[in-house]
Structure 1
């Protein structure tokens, strides 16, 4: 499997990334094209795309590397290979390659799909955090949305959660 870090919207895999991104997340959870281009200029933003040796697009992980933690902003696996273990493989590798805590957000658990998603992350060693969390809006036409914060290995402290929320506003969401 090949890992390709996108650095600009002109990169060869950006269209495949963009297609999967647009179908994988509701519009209110999506960056605009311009917002993606801006994020790609940040040294601590990684849009890593994964390809099989034959060139088949597997999926992507968008994450931000901060001093104390890694924040997974978006993550998706192509329908063509879903259920073949790639999701587990990609996340497990990311977690094992760092000594930092890994933070991500999921939708509130309200149905079988969201319960299945939570079980997937719990099986990878993530734990639920007790904090009320509202992700800032990606686009001005939307409001922030409630999400659950998960972290690898242990819960975040109140100070760590506050740092994460501040980094979301000051770094991740900068347009």
Structure 2
């Protein structure tokens, strides 16, 4: 299947607005940025807000960050629910990983059938579950950090790589959260 990755540069783009509808439907509110924070993050050169299209059909979204020596943090990934089960997600992530030497993402703890299936999906693509205790900082005021599992491709992260990831997450990615639109101190 052929598809096109489309990087959003402006909060007013129709393709971004379509992707944000999928974003809102795919993630619980505590895992979503406020729109003002997402709009501010669009100007950060390390942030890539992409939607994936086949013609005029939205296949999915991929919001990720580049850090370190070519590493990527996949912050949000979702496939159009009407198109799930057709290997579209596998194709998108396989294409993505082929372009990035080390990719990191987070998944929910294995508390139900959906979370176990999601872990299996990523493992079939070559992602490895990491052993680190991990808390994702809150995106919104009033929310607490929440536990997530860290997976990485194509191998488990070394302790130094995990530390680099959490430092980047805390000080760069989360700069665009809590309604502060990127105004926290640079690090």
TM-score band, normalised by the shorter chain?
over 0.9
Q: Which runs of 5+ in 2 are unaligned?
A: 177-187
Cα shift at 1:2: 2.1
CA distance in 1, matches of 2:68, 2:34: 27
Please list the CA deviations of residues 90-135 of structure 1 after superposition, one character each: whole Å capped at 9, or x if unmatched.
000010112x210000000111111100000000001010000000
Cα shift at 1:52: 1.1
Cα shift at 1:44: 1.2
Aligned residues: 173
Q: Which runs of 5+ in 1 are unaligned?
A: none
CA distance in 1, matches of 2:22, 2:142: 22
Q: TM-score, normalised by structure 1?
A: 0.96
CA distance in 2, matches of 1:139, 1:115: 27
Higher normalized contact order (CA 8 Å, seq sep 6+, divided by chain length): 2
1:86 to 85, 88, 99: 88
CA distance in 2, matches of 1:9, 1:140: 22
Return structure 1 stretches of 4+ with deviation > 4 angstroms.
Answer: none
Cα shift at 1:67: 2.1
How is 1:19-98 mapped onto 2 (pairs within 5 angstroms)? Answer: 19-53=21-55, 55-68=56-69, 69-98=71-100
Partner of 2:111: 110
CA distance in 2, matches of 1:145, 1:38: 23
What secondary structure, in the 3-state scheme, does the structure 1 residue paired with 2:33 have?
Answer: coil
What secondary structure, in the 3-state scheme, does the structure 1 residue paired with 2:82 have?
Answer: coil
Q: CA RMSD in A?
A: 0.9
CA distance in 2, matches of 1:124, 1:143: 31
